[in-house]
Chain A
Amino acid sequence: MKIYGVAFLSACFLAGQVLGELLGRLFHFQGNIGGVGFGMLLLIVLGDRLKRKGWMGEESESGIHFWNAMYIPVVVAMATTQNVKAAVAGGWLAVAVGVGGTLACFLLIPVMARLGRKSDTPHNENDKV
């Protein structure tokens, strides 16, 4: 049943929110710290375990995949409800951060790929060189 998947997703989501809220209180901080991230970690770890034990069939999983597919439309809806007029004032900032931050990460790709490959593929032909 699809609702099993949705219910499982909800359980992970809510548990993540509780953890995030508790962490927030621990740091005497008004708000939720990483609730979404905790929810995702729970879903990955527990989802993997449930699938291995055969407790979650494809039908249940499709309930989760529906929400996965709704992610972009939800973000589009979110975009239409933002206070854009006020944000336009910082237009150059958006461009500077968006382009600058992205370029910096692009530059790091060859560096990181080289670092990792030495340890990752010891049987690679490159080792002979």
Chain B
Amino acid sequence: MSLFSDIFSRFDLVFAFLFVGLLMSVSILLSRVLFRARIPGAAIAITLGLVLAWFGGKKGVADFPVMSGLSLLGGAMLRDFSIVSTAMGASLSEIRKSGPAGIASLFLGIVTSFSIGSAVAFSMGYTDVKSIATIGAGACTFIVGPVTGTALGAASDIIALSIGIGVIKTVVVTVLTPLIAKRIGLDNPHTAMVYGGLIGTTSGVAAGLAATDPKLVPYGALTATFYTGTACLLCPSLLYFLLALLLP
């Protein structure tokens, strides 16, 4: 056994690739078998990841030497790098086409999520502005929370909480979208763009739209792609400063 653990911990990043790949495939299988693909494999994989992390310590499962590669693969550097790369899917001219409604919903969605997240955090007894801002950012997406938390220097447990909030949001969006699509008029590209801007969690939006009408996916994903970037720009800066001004 020590032969395997020796090799795995020596080539920890490579083992992390294998581990995440297996985790993703199990999650996609679970998604198909248990939830008829209504909950995206990505949301299940992230949830499973958080469950696994519970068995670890301060650095989650990366506290085990064999799993240390996960803290490199899932560390701030590669995380931010891969997030920036998603912007390649969107072009400025296309976002212009979505018109003022798309851009307005982008900002309204970020401010609404951030405000509600911050308000709930404050009402539940958090007084530290950095923690409140990180929780508010978590209400945007599971990316914006940790990016904001890292930028502001929030504690690891708050960052984990913000990821948990973002994951819950992704699951809620995915399950709820096809159920209430008709009622909110989500049956055309224009509304899909507004929807992507307001909701913002790319995996939730893409999965929710796929379950509603696959033709709408690119429209919702287009504005949703801008959401994370815009929120990463606004949450640790403007919204954080406004929050700091509001709180004693």
Residue A44, interface by CB 8 Å:
yes
Q: What sequence of 0s and 1s flags, for each residue 58-77 of chain A, a beta carbon within 8 Å of any chain B beta carbon?
A: 00010011011011111111
CA distance A92 to B59 in the complex (A): 22
For B79, list chain A residues within 8 Å (CB). Answer: 74-75, 78
CA distance A101 to B51 in the complex (A): 23
Interface range, B side: 35 or more
Residue A86, interface by CB 8 Å:
yes
Q: Which of B3-11, B31-39, B140-148, B209-217 contacts A (4 or more CB under 8 A)?
A: B140-148
Q: Which of B71, B101, B197 makes the CB contact (< 8 A) with A117? A: B101
Residue B16, interface by CB 8 Å:
yes
A74 adjacent to B78 (CB under 8 Å): yes
A115 adjacent to B101 (CB under 8 Å): yes
A108 adjacent to B198 (CB under 8 Å): yes
B residues 25-63 in Cβ contact with A at 8 Å: 42, 45-47, 49-54, 56-62
B190 adjacent to A81 (CB under 8 Å): no
CA distance A75 to B160 in the complex (A): 12
For B191, list chain A residues within 8 Å (CB). Answer: 109, 113
Q: Which of A61, A79, A85 makes the CB contact (< 8 A) with B88? A: A61
For B218, list chain A residues within 8 Å (CB). Answer: none
CA distance A74 to B75 in the complex (A): 8
B residues 151-201 in Cβ contact with A at 8 Å: 151-153, 155-161, 163-169, 171-173, 176, 180, 184-186, 190-191, 194-195, 197-199
Tally A-B pairs: CB < 8 A.
Answer: 321
B153 adjacent to A109 (CB under 8 Å): no
For A9, list chain B residues within 8 Å (CB). Answer: 81, 84-85, 88
CA distance A114 to B42 in the complex (A): 32
B20 adjacent to A73 (CB under 8 Å): yes
For B229, list chain A residues within 8 Å (CB). Answer: 36-37, 40-41
Residue B66, interface by CB 8 Å:
no
Interface pairs (21), CB distance under 8 Å: A34-B237, A36-B147, A36-B229, A43-B87, A43-B88, A47-B87, A48-B91, A65-B88, A67-B82, A70-B78, A71-B85, A71-B86, A76-B46, A82-B50, A98-B168, A98-B171, A99-B168, A104-B113, A105-B198, A120-B99, A121-B190
Residues of B within 8 A of A (CB): 16-17, 20-21, 23-24, 42, 45-47, 49-54, 56-62, 67, 70-71, 73-75, 78-93, 99-102, 104-105, 108-109, 112-113, 116-117, 120-121, 124, 135, 138-139, 142-143, 146-147, 151-153, 155-161, 163-169, 171-173, 176, 180, 184-186, 190-191, 194-195, 197-199, 203, 228-234, 236-237, 241
